Structure 1
Amino acid sequence: MYVSNDHVGSIYGGLGQLLLTYYQHQNLVPPQKLLDIQDLERFDFMIWRELLTSLHQQLQRPALGLEIAALVEPKHLGILAYLVLSCETLADALRRYHDYHRLVYDGIPLQINVDGELLSIAWDKVPYNLGAQITDEIAIALMMEFLKSILDIENIRLHEVHFEHSVTKNVMLYEQYFRCKVRFGQAKTQVLMAVSELNRPLKKGDQTLQHILKQQAEALLEKLPNTNPADYRLQQTILAGLQNNSFQIEHVAQKMNMSVRQLQRHLQQQGKTYQQRMQEIRCMMATEYLKDPHLSLQEIALLLGYSEQSAFQRAFKQWTKMTPQQWKNEKGPVS
């Protein structure tokens, strides 16, 4: 990882891949420094700022950060995308985005506050000499593109968008993009929207998550003999619960329209407890996730419903007699 004396945080490696995608779309020759970070799990914020400002100086294009962010895909945001895809409302998505934002950018806390009828989504300041308009606008635009394109929220209604840096030319480009008043030279960089927007349902999130879970459940069915439709539903429900922290037996039984006692009886007929079945699923999904070179151990732990990486590592060693890293080195894909 690159390290700077003025270190203010690190960036998820997927954003380096996003920037390379932009270079490719524009038929531009990427700088070596951008190529050097393509295989890194994380890299220093100052590298990110340097790459963005260098590109901005080269192109001299207004609202460049908005253009780059328009290319974002779930893979560029890593585990954050999967975690937010399980949300049902905009409020849930923003809460999850707030809680795990530092997995994408660990350095500037994201603050969400309510003031009367307005919700403020704000980014803390970095020292002025370390920040830049393009880093601010891409941070906001990434969140907006995620909500609009990945979660399929159409016509997100914003009240205002504020940027800390001085007024720029072509303000109209920003106002066309955000569809609201955009102010520069403000006290902080933030997005303001009506609190009433928070109840809006997410149309695409559940569908996308269900597609992912269907693929995972089918893979599990191949490994678990003598499965039936009830087992299939149980596995899908547990998988969904692991990703939104609602995998307790009471919640899973409710989702399956069963009582806890009925679910326990069903598992007893197979000689299993709920905890044993859940750990089976966790173990099998852990080995699948460990094959993905873009997922860190911390991210895999979150996907499996562990709040701490150390708890996942202890459980994995109980399941396989190996640490996750040992398993990855021995059985993971050859790099």
Structure 2
Amino acid sequence: MQELQIPNGYFQLWNMYLIQQGIDFHHLDVLNPYKVNLEHVLRLPIDTQSPFSFFHTILQLTQTELDCPQLTMEMAKLIRPEHFGVLGYMATRSNSVAEALQYVMRFSRLVIDGAEVTPMHMQQQGNEIWLTWPFHHEKYAMLNEMTMASMVHLAKQIFPDQLQFLKIQMAHSAQMALYHYQKFYGCEVSFNQACYAYVMSADSLSLKSGFADPSLTQLLLKQAEVAIALKPRYE
């Protein structure tokens, strides 16, 4: 089974955070066994992918070394469209929340890919929109936290002062003090749930983006379709 692949943009975010803190990762002795590989990944195109297990190791060591349990959230605050590759640009240039979500569900493998990955599912429950995906294993808790925080922060950049999340649902247990989650998301966050979920009002789907660019989006769509067609098929 192919190992889960994550965007190299996540490694770039990690390095951006360290630089912001005035830290050169070459000076962190705890990373000595991994520095050659880190240099290699950081030289790769930002929209390519690398093994999740390597990223997980680096994040755990950094988190411990800096005594920063909320590291994933601090990194997510630096997120930009390019960290999600072509999908990030498509979401940013989409006309509405509904259009952006359609691209996210269709092309999520361009960000995180592997046999265990299940695309996000969207359904309406009364006046609420639920975006859900299943729990696979506790070892992916950090990845889910990183991705969820990054998506929320990027979404709020695209739709500032408009998009509000009603609640965030985590299938794993809390990885840090609860106030970190509440401060970052600004809404109810629950843990050990049956699945992961973003919950927003149904009215949110019609919110418009001030960055919409239909012509560019069509070009990006063709690029994404070619990239997804080259992905391996999983049985």
Given the two structures, how large is their TM-score scaled by the length of structure 1? Answer: 0.58
- Distance of aligned partners of 1:158 and 1:64 in 2 relative to their CA distance in 1, 3 Å threshold: same
Match of 1:148 among 145, 151, 156: 156
- Distance of aligned partners of 1:162 and 1:39 in 2 relative to their CA distance in 1, 3 Å threshold: same
1:243 matched to 2:220: yes
Conserved? CA contact 1:102–1:109, under 8 Å: no
| Residue aligned with 2:42, SS | coil
| Residue aligned with 1:88, SS | coil
- Distance of aligned partners of 1:60 and 1:135 in 2 relative to their CA distance in 1, 3 Å threshold: farther
Q: Distance in 1 between matches of 2:123 and 2:182?
A: 23
* Amino acid in structure 2 at the alignment position of 1:194: S
Q: Distance in 1 between matches of 2:217 and 2:173?
A: 45
- Distance of aligned partners of 1:44 and 1:240 in 2 relative to their CA distance in 1, 3 Å threshold: closer
Partner of 1:11: 6
Match of 2:119 among 110, 126, 129: 110
Q: Distance in 2 between matches of 1:125 and 1:185?
A: 10
* Amino acid in structure 2 at the alignment position of 1:127: H
**1:236-264 CA-partner distances (Å, limit 9, x unpaired):** x5x5543356xxxxxxxxxxxxxxxxxxx
Partner of 1:96: 103
**1:214-235 CA-partner distances (Å, limit 9, x unpaired):** xxxxxxxxxxxxxxxxxxxxxx
Partner of 2:56: 49
- Distance of aligned partners of 1:301 and 1:166 in 2 relative to their CA distance in 1, 3 Å threshold: closer
1:22 matched to 2:22: no
State the Cα RMSD in Å.
Answer: 2.6
Q: Percent identity between the aligned chains?
A: 22
Match of 2:179 among 166, 172, 181: 172
Structure 1 residue 10: Cα displacement: 0.6
Structure 2 stretches lacking a partner, 5+ long: 26-30, 231-235
**Large movers: runs of 4+ above 6 Å:** none
Structure 1 residue 102: Cα displacement: 1.3
Structure 1 residue 199: Cα displacement: 1.0
Given the two structures, how large is their TM-score scaled by the length of structure 2? Answer: 0.80
Structure 1 residue 70: Cα displacement: 0.8
Conserved? CA contact 1:120–1:193, under 8 Å: yes
* Amino acid in structure 2 at the alignment position of 1:135: L
1:139 matched to 2:116: no
Structure 1 residue 153: Cα displacement: 3.0
Q: Distance in 1 between matches of 2:217 and 2:2?
A: 37
1:37 matched to 2:38: no
Structure 1 residue 54: Cα displacement: 1.8
Structure 1 residue 192: Cα displacement: 1.4
**1:258-302 CA-partner distances (Å, limit 9, x unpaired):** xxxxxxxxxxxxxxxxxxxxxxxxxxxxxxxxxxxxxxxx65946
Structure 1 residue 125: Cα displacement: 2.6
Match of 1:121 among 118, 128, 131: 131
Higher relative contact order (CA 8 A, sep 6+): 2
Partner of 1:82: 89
Structure 1 stretches lacking a partner, 5+ long: 1-5, 211-236, 246-297, 310-335
**1:25-65 CA-partner distances (Å, limit 9, x unpaired):** 12223231432311233211111221222222222324321
- Distance of aligned partners of 1:300 and 1:123 in 2 relative to their CA distance in 1, 3 Å threshold: closer
Structure 1 residue 188: Cα displacement: 2.2
1:213-232 alignment runs, 5 A limit: none
- Distance of aligned partners of 1:300 and 1:192 in 2 relative to their CA distance in 1, 3 Å threshold: closer
Partner of 1:316: none
1:184 matched to 2:170: no
Conserved? CA contact 2:93–2:209, under 8 Å: no
